[in-house]
Structure 1
């Protein structure tokens, strides 16, 4: 994988005005937007079947001021959403990008629903950590796999060309830092060179590259990686080789609730509706309402690097709405106990410590006080027998730092100037989660993928139309 200097004598096998690397949510949305603007394009995907990180996610996309919210009486605005994002990341993200995401989130969700028949619904029942309003939009089964299926169906209906098993290995770049084309490699080792007038990097972060994780996020170098194996940092390495600016490379989305050894994501709705996490000593160790991303490192810091999600029948019934949870239940990851005594025995936890943990929660609820971690307990939501438990560990899902972009998603060089024809979005671009694992607001990953994907597709199309217009002027 390299940057190949372009010369006038270089020949290509084919030409397309626009190439998009990566057929996850970001690449497919970018393709839909550019195709709608009349641009001929192809999406290049390394795998035999487009899935990416999107298919492994919960498929929740936050958006403000949508008709789905209004139909259910939710009064939300882009300004409130932007404030929630910035408050969670400690005001470290680029405010222009945050405002762009918040402002465009509603229109993009409605465009995908109305123009491309994505069956979005507003997720009700609870607020994810850091969100002040109900704004998570998802497809009916609440899975990233279903979201990917809907996007692929939309792309097929639109007649968009997706070249699978086409791993891009080289970018051809001239002396002005203009991308002239790419080299892609097929599974049999054969290669093809395709020239282009604009390129969108919608491919990946670097979570699947242990060397880069060790370099930029050493606190999670021993974490289980629960992301797509293709996230090897190609976009980051290409950009750095071209002199692009990078920001917030230590930012990431972790998750403190991956069922182990089943490796099934357990929705954080379990915690937000009253559940707790205890370690093998039967004690709580954190504020479970602080955020699931930073919870990964907290779980990994516990003995044996595991914790138990503990909840009750009320929560169990509520989260059966999530397909991932149903899968965990059906594979035996979820265990049921009639009381604390049988749970302590079944999970090999010290009974007295477990009883003390529950007694403390009841006392805090009665006194209306928060615990030392900052969590308050509502008497209505205190856990009641029978109890449920799931053994979980902390995991790294995807990285949030990347190539610095402007509000047109143009990649910037280290002097802050836009490169001639290179765009980046999704995992390839700097996100809005600040500089570490604690700034991730639920949904930031798919928010950047979907909204910035749409922005990249639209602006790449405008650049190409401008180029075409300039070419035909007398």
Structure 2
């Protein structure tokens, strides 16, 4: 991956006004917005079948003030959502970006539903940590794979040109830091140069680059990476080479509930509805309501780097709503027990420790006092037999730091000036999760991908139209 100096003798095999690198949620939404404005473009995707990190997620997009919320009498607002985001990250994110994403979240979700047929519905039943309102919007199967399918169908209907198996190797950049085009390589080794007037980086972060993870997120250097292998930090490296500003590179989304060895995501809804996590000593070790991102490091710090999610039949029935959970159940990752004694014997956990953990939950529920870790237990959510368990580990899902952008998704240099024609969104851009792993609010990843992707597509279209008008 390199920045190649552009000269007037540089020749391109083709030229398009707009190029978008990456066909995940960010790139596809950006393309839909730009096509809506009449811009000719192409999305460049390294894989044969576009999937990206979006397909590996649960596909939940937080949005405030939508008609889906109003239909279920959920009162929410962009200002409340922005406050929730900032409270979770310790007010470390760019306030203007947070406000822009919150304000545009509702209109973007409704636009995708109404204009492009994405079958969103509001996820009910529980609040994810840090959210004070029900605002997660998802497709019926609750999977990122289904969301990706809907976006790909929308892109096809909109006439978005997509070049798959087209790995971008180089950016051609002139002395004014204007991107003039890219070089792509094909699986057979052939190379093509495509010129452009604007470029959107939608190729996610650097979670798949072990060296960069070790450098920027040392606490998760040993964590299993549960993201797309193509997230090698290309956007970050290109941007740095062009003098772009980078922010919050230690920020990330981890997850403390990845079934092992099955490598299937287990929804954090289990914890929010009353479940608990214990280590191999049968002991709880944290506040499970603190957040699933920071829980990744908590789980990895336990003996053997694993934990058991303990829950009950009520929670199990609710969790069957999630396709990932059903897959884990069918794969044998989920185990059921009539008693704690049976669970202890089967899982080789100390019975006394398990009984103490459950007794403590009941005691704190009766007195409505927080436990040692600060968690408050609701009487209605106390565990009762039959019990269920699944062995999990901590994982790194994706990074949240990246290139600094303004509210138009324009990439900024280290002096705060806009680069002439470079845009970024999703994992390629600085997110709204603060500076570490504890600032991630559920849904921040797809919020930045989808909403900032829409902003990038609209902004790039406006720049191109203004340039054309001036010419």
Question: TM-score band (shorter)?
Answer: over 0.9
Could you say which residue in structure 2 is the equivalent of 1:175? 175
Could you say which residue in structure 2 is the equivalent of 1:345? 345
Distance in 1 (CA, whole Å) between partners of 2:316 and 2:60 is 20
Could you say which residue in structure 2 is the equivalent of 1:18? 18
Runs of 5+ unmatched residues, structure 1:
none
Could you say which residue in structure 2 is the equivalent of 1:106? 106
Shift of residue 360, structure 1, vs aligned partner = 1.1
Could you say which residue in structure 1 is the equivalent of 2:143? 143
Could you say which residue in structure 1 is the equivalent of 2:64? 64
Q: What is the correspondence of 1:274-285 to structure 2 with a 5 Å cutoff? A: 274-285=274-285
Q: What is the correspondence of 1:105-144 to structure 2 with a 5 Å cutoff? A: 105-144=105-144
Q: What is the correspondence of 1:218-237 to structure 2 with a 5 Å cutoff? A: 218-237=218-237
Q: How many residues align?
A: 471
Could you say which residue in structure 1 is the equivalent of 2:205? 205
Could you say which residue in structure 2 is the equivalent of 1:243? 243
Give the SS at the match of 1:19.
strand
Distance in 2 (CA, whole Å) between partners of 1:98 and 1:343 is 45
Distance in 1 (CA, whole Å) between partners of 2:379 and 2:16 is 62
Distance in 1 (CA, whole Å) between partners of 2:410 and 2:260 is 40
Distance in 2 (CA, whole Å) between partners of 1:408 and 1:158 is 23
Give the SS at the match of 1:195.
strand
Could you say which residue in structure 2 is the equivalent of 1:424? 424
Give the SS at the match of 2:147.
helix
Distance in 2 (CA, whole Å) between partners of 1:273 and 1:358 is 15
Could you say which residue in structure 2 is the equivalent of 1:336? 336
Q: What is the correspondence of 1:429-440 to structure 2 with a 5 Å cutoff? A: 429-440=429-440
Shift of residue 59, structure 1, vs aligned partner = 0.1
Could you say which residue in structure 2 is the equivalent of 1:263? 263
Structure 1, residues 341-383: CA drift from partner, whole Å, max 9, x if none?
A: 0000010001111111111111111111110110011111110
Give the SS at the match of 2:354.
helix
Shift of residue 80, structure 1, vs aligned partner = 0.1
Runs of 5+ unmatched residues, structure 2:
none
Could you say which residue in structure 2 is the equivalent of 1:448? 448
Q: CA RMSD in A?
A: 0.4
Distance in 2 (CA, whole Å) between partners of 1:367 and 1:177 is 63
Distance in 2 (CA, whole Å) between partners of 1:354 and 1:169 is 53
Could you say which residue in structure 2 is the equivalent of 1:358? 358
Distance in 2 (CA, whole Å) between partners of 1:184 and 1:431 is 27
Distance in 2 (CA, whole Å) between partners of 1:53 and 1:379 is 37
Give the SS at the match of 2:207.
coil
Distance in 2 (CA, whole Å) between partners of 1:378 and 1:410 is 46
Distance in 2 (CA, whole Å) between partners of 1:180 and 1:355 is 65
Q: Which moved more, 1:43-52 or 1:366-375?
A: 366-375
Distance in 2 (CA, whole Å) between partners of 1:158 and 1:125 is 35
Shift of residue 201, structure 1, vs aligned partner = 0.1
Distance in 2 (CA, whole Å) between partners of 1:76 and 1:326 is 31
Could you say which residue in structure 2 is the equivalent of 1:272? 272
1:38 aligns with 2:38: yes
1:294 aligns with 2:294: yes
Shift of residue 204, structure 1, vs aligned partner = 1.5
Structure 1, residues 112-146: CA drift from partner, whole Å, max 9, x if none?
A: 00000000000000000000000000000000000
Distance in 2 (CA, whole Å) between partners of 1:351 and 1:134 is 37
Distance in 1 (CA, whole Å) between partners of 2:302 and 2:48 is 39
Distance in 2 (CA, whole Å) between partners of 1:272 and 1:445 is 20
Give the SS at the match of 1:203.
coil
Could you say which residue in structure 1 is the equivalent of 2:468? 468
Distance in 2 (CA, whole Å) between partners of 1:195 and 1:230 is 23
Q: TM-score, normalised by structure 2?
A: 1.00
Could you say which residue in structure 2 is the equivalent of 1:73? 73
Could you say which residue in structure 1 is the equivalent of 2:94? 94
Q: TM-score, normalised by structure 1?
A: 0.99
1:254 aligns with 2:254: yes
Distance in 2 (CA, whole Å) between partners of 1:81 and 1:342 is 44
Distance in 1 (CA, whole Å) between partners of 2:97 and 2:39 is 25
Distance in 2 (CA, whole Å) between partners of 1:73 and 1:452 is 27
Give the SS at the match of 1:433.
coil
Distance in 1 (CA, whole Å) between partners of 2:397 and 2:410 is 25
Could you say which residue in structure 2 is the equivalent of 1:398? 398
Could you say which residue in structure 1 is the equivalent of 2:410? 410
1:309 aligns with 2:309: yes
Shift of residue 255, structure 1, vs aligned partner = 0.0
Give the SS at the match of 1:188.
coil
Could you say which residue in structure 2 is the equivalent of 1:9? 9
Structure 1, residues 19-73: CA drift from partner, whole Å, max 9, x if none?
A: 0000000000000000000000000000000000000000000000000000000
Distance in 1 (CA, whole Å) between partners of 2:279 and 2:140 is 34
